[in-house]
């Protein structure tokens, strides 16, 4: 009996350790993967394969799952404070759509307004191998990237655009998606849930007043410009009408003078014809009559010259001077008898 009592512990204890070791091997060698989960397996620290949903067997102590961790802050909707969420030594990678409610981001708009934006991001891991080998703490990386993109976008917008046109921030999804592709992540959407400001009412009121003043300045400038245009057009039309009137007046005066000259000429022609008819000349040969008229004009002019004060006149031989002048104009005359040819009693 003594031998049996000593034999049982010697057998049971090794069997117990064998049983424990078998359990450890079973736990490490068999992996149960749920739907929409994957596990990255490494062999001696090198990538081996990816386990999808189902039961899988691996070599214990040779094959091991690749671990990862996350640590990031969330807004607690109950307390309103930031809450640290973290986990370490994770082996199962979820391929479902994940949603992270990130802390409020402080941003400054183009018109120097300080705002707090409460944003939420939804993403999905599409390449587990690329994700686990290219980045650490994926949620924190996405949070920092979203913060940077928010500041870049909102810095080029004004406060009223951010509040009234929420669609202006939809470009965040595309920008985030382009950056997240290198981590094997697809960005589903990025939404801004709430916009807060310490004095949002005052900011909007100032913005409204500034817009109204700008509009008033623009309207006044347009009215002033239109008034100048109208004045310029009126002056132009006045100058055109005035020039046309002056031109018409000059033309009318010229026509009047021309008509007067024509009338005088016609009257002179008639006068010459009447004189020619009176002296018995042929009206078809009006040259003699015209010479007569010119002679009379000449004599009238000489008469006016003689009548001027301070005029000195020297006459030719009184017996022949005027007759010589008449001969110059083609008038035939007979010399009067002089004293030389008169007989004395």
Taking only the tens place, the pLDDT of each residue in 308-333 is 777 666 655 555 555 555 555 555 55
**pLDDT tens, position by position, 36-59:** 999 999 999 899 999 999 999 998
Q: What's the distance, Cα to Cα, between the start and end of the chain in Å?
A: 231
CA 285 to chain centre: 87
- Residue 181 and residue 200: Cα distance in Å, rounded? 37
Which CATH architecture does the domain made up of 67-198 adopt? 2-Layer Sandwich (3.30)
**Residue keyed to tokens 């102590």:** 61
- Residue 63 and residue 46: Cα distance in Å, rounded? 9
Using the CB atoms, write b or e for 38-75: b if 16+ within 10 Å.
Answer: bbbbbeeeeebebbeeeebebeeeebbbbebebebbbb
* Structural contact between residues 94 and 185, judged by C-beta atoms closer than 8 angstroms: no
**pLDDT tens, position by position, 187-238:** 999 988 888 776 666 666 666 667 767 777 888 888 888 888 888 888 888 8
Query: Half-sphere exposure of residue 222, counting CA atoms within 13 Å on the CB side?
Result: 6
Which of 104-118, 182-196, 330-344 is least confident? 330-344
Helices (H), the chain: 2-29, 128-134, 138-154, 159-164, 171-180, 200-278, 287-306, 321-328
The Cβ of residue 196 has, within 10 Å, a number of other Cβ atoms equal to 12
| Torsion sign over Cα 187, 192, 198, 199 | positive
Structural tokens at position 12 = 């049971």
Q: What is the pLDDT of residue 79?
A: 73
pLDDT score of 185 more than 90: yes
pLDDT band at 339 (very low <50, low <70, confident <90, very high): very low
Please name which of 124, 127, 125 lies closest in space to residue 50, comparing C-alpha atoms.
127
């Amino acid at each position: 009996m003594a031998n049996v009592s000593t034999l049982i512990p010697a057998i049971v204890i090794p069997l117990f350790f064998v049983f424990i070791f078998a359990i450890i091997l079973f736990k490490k060698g068999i992996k149960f993967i749920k739907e929409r989960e994957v596990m990255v397996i490494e062999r001696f620290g090198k990538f081996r394969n990816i386990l999808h949903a189902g039961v899988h067997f691996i070599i214990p102590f040779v094959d091991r799952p690749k671990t990862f961790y996350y640590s990031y802050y969330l807004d607690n909707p109950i307390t309103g404070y930031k809450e640290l969420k973290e986990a370490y030594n994770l082996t199962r990678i979820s391929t479902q759509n994940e949603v992270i409610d990130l802390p409020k981001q402080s941003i400054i708009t183009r018109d120097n307004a300080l705002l707090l934006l409460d944003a939420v991001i939804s993403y999905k891991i599409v390449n587990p191998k690329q994700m686990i080998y290219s980045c650490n703490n994926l949620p924190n990386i996405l949070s920092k990237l979203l913060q940077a993109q928010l500041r870049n976008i909102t810095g080029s917008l004004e406060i009223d655009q951010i509040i009234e046109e929420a669609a202006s921030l939809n470009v965040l999804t595309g920008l985030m998606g382009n950056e997240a592709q290198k981590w094997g992540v697809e960005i589903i959407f990025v939404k801004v849930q709430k916009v807060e400001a310490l004095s949002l009412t005052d900011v909007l009121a100032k913005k409204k007043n500034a817009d109204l003043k700008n509009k008033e300045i623009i309207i006044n400038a347009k009215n002033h410009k239109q008034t100048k245009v109208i004045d310029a057009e009126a002056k132009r039309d006045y100058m055109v009408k005035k020039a046309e009137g002056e031109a018409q007046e000059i033309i009318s005066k010229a026509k009047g003078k021309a008509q007067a000259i024509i009338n005088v000429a016609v009257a002179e022609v008639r006068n010459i014809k009447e004189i020619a008819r009176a002296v018995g000349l042929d009206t078809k040969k009006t040259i003699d009559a015209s010479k007569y008229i010119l002679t009379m004009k000449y004599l009238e002019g000489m008469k006016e010259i003689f009548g001027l004060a301070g005029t000195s006149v020297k006459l030719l031989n009184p017996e022949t001077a005027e007759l010589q002048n008449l001969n110059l104009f083609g008038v035939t005359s007979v010399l009067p008898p002089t004293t030389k040819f008169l007989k004395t009693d």
